[in-house]
A and B are shown apart, each in its own frame.
Chain A
């Protein structure tokens, strides 16, 4: 629509869905079909007995677009609830990364030293490589990956963001 470019915002949405075939395709198709952004997407079954899955989507858009995205998601028949965990600022967001670094000598020692500072764990090691496991906010992971770059970064695998609200209430 024609708008004078209001500022875009980044929002994390938790979407509770029936774990039925095609539900993820429906959600992704909605985003691609309507031209919305997906910055990060994670999905997994969370309540096996009730056959519920939780999809966490990080998206950016103007406030009007974010409202649209939530309404459009809620309109999908297998969607139970959509929670914007960004609203109210009471969310906790985490991501897990596995980072492979290759090197010997000083660079290897430096990589190990930094991993310690970031509370990363070594989950695989050879004489010339490490795989680190790291959880945290996305910017912390970005920072760690940046530091590993000159030290022999080979590969990064990240889960994307999962989120939950603080306090005793469920979504």
Chain B
């Protein structure tokens, strides 16, 4: 029997019924009734952030490291607008979130009331779906629907905007079991005929490559297992996008490393020269394809994606399979086994030989130094010294992010949280807060840039308040390094506004936040300093002072094709490598 309660009580009840344990939020006038209910219960834990953007990124970190829906609670007006960057980030990276926003009372909507903004209007293009609930009797249904929509199909953020009078109003609550969306039923199973055709195409391949992405991670751990099985079964090489790292173990010999703008030479060359490409849960984004009209010119392509609109969006494919990666992989493997495929062994052997030649270029090689810490070395050491730990990595955005992707090796999914699609500086620190809450005993490290980390630095306060021992490992090159690199390559070395002027003393800043600060600037002191950081059971800001001039290679310059990569030692004639057209690309 349904019971009567206030809208604010329904919010709490719905979150509890949806098995939410942590809500990341920030109070304000338009959500006070909900905060009052939060105060009077102990099933839900509210995590008070220091800025609403931080709440959303923390919820993203929570969601991406657990596979659950992350939950956010913010007030109307500035609370909602501050959340917009995080929501857009979650949309671009297909992260399931439910964000509850307070709204001015219904009778004031449209009156330019205090702290009113058109939240559903503003968030319509940056959410998967959103709702304004004007009637308390719709509230329970909408909240449960929001969780369903966020988690099913291609995951994404959902906003539920609740006017204050609806939070006070009484109505009937119904649990999640009685709620199903009227029509939204994403297709999980792929078309079997198409999967058969894909298997036949793969069986005849001479130069195949599997290219996987964040969709495999989103699909759940089972999909990652199945991906491994398919790779083993076929003997094909595999690469992945930034978002897909960890779905396939980096230690496996069939792993080519990440592909794309800063991917490995072997991964990009394999993509360029392959005859059959199998894309699973990735979306041919421009960071992956490089110049589209020169993208993998000789290949037949299979694309598996739960979102039909990803198929044939940027790149034409021969077989488009709409379905959940896990389900499609399962069918693929079953059909591959059932048809007892004979692959073209000599051709595959020749292909692997070619790949080994590309690997021989050692595209990630860098010149180390005994004077100054090279950023790549710093991440290599961080990786080496944390190998025996249960480790989760988040990042900010820039060169350090790419070096982290290149030099930190992941063996499992859900261990790597980075802002891929939107490229949001300031993501990593609050994301680490969310990850640490979900995994209290794990080692959570934000590999950061000194510029990015200042965008959401205030969340250190959150980490300290909740005793979350996150480690902020700042690759401090005193530049917005990625901007500086582009200015060096594309704008004649005119470093317009990319120098990190007047930086705070990060060690003192750590102390000001009541956490631990460590600085290291010498390669031979690095190991000891990292060990010291790992030994501290409190939040740490680690200021790793690195070579300010190092560039991130390999690199496919904007407007170039995969086989036109710049390698580190080709750095002399960079100017010549970039076309005029390429300059307008971002």
Contact = CB atoms under 8 A, between A and B. Distances in A.
B313 A68 contact: yes
Nearest to B308: A71
Contacts, number: 48
A26 interface: yes
A2 B291 contact: yes
B39 interface: no
Contact of B184 (A33, A68, A72, A77): A77
A81 B183 CA distance: 10
Interface residues of B, number: 25
Nearest to B294: A2
Contacts of B307: 71, 75
A29 interface: yes
A29 B128 CA distance: 13
B314 interface: yes
B132 A21 contact: yes
A157 B311 CA distance: 39
A71 B311 contact: yes
Interface in B263-322: 291-293, 307-309, 311-314, 316
B309 A75 contact: yes
A7 interface: no
A117 interface: no
A29 B124 contact: yes
Contacts of A78: 129, 183
A68 B309 contact: yes
Interface string B528-548: 000000000000000000000
A4 B313 CA distance: 15
B309 A72 contact: yes
Given A68-B313, A71-B309, A71-B311, A1 B292 contact: yes
B316 A2 contact: no
Contacts of A75: 154, 307-309
B124 A22 contact: yes
Interface string B64-75: 000000000000
Given A18-B183, A80-B183, A26 B124 contact: yes
Interface in A47-93: 64, 67-68, 71-72, 74-78, 80
A1 B307 CA distance: 19
Contacts of B132: 21-22
Given A2-B291, A77-B184, A33 B125 contact: yes
Given A1-B292, A18-B183, A77 B128 contact: yes
B124 A68 contact: no
B185 to A, nearest CB: 11
A68 B312 contact: yes
Contact of B316 (A26, A64, A71): A64
Interface of B: 120-121, 124-125, 128-130, 132, 149, 154, 181-184, 291-293, 307-309, 311-314, 316
19 contacts: A1-B313, A2-B292, A4-B293, A18-B183, A22-B132, A26-B124, A29-B124, A29-B125, A71-B309, A74-B308, A74-B309, A75-B154, A75-B308, A76-B129, A77-B128, A77-B129, A77-B149, A78-B183, A80-B183
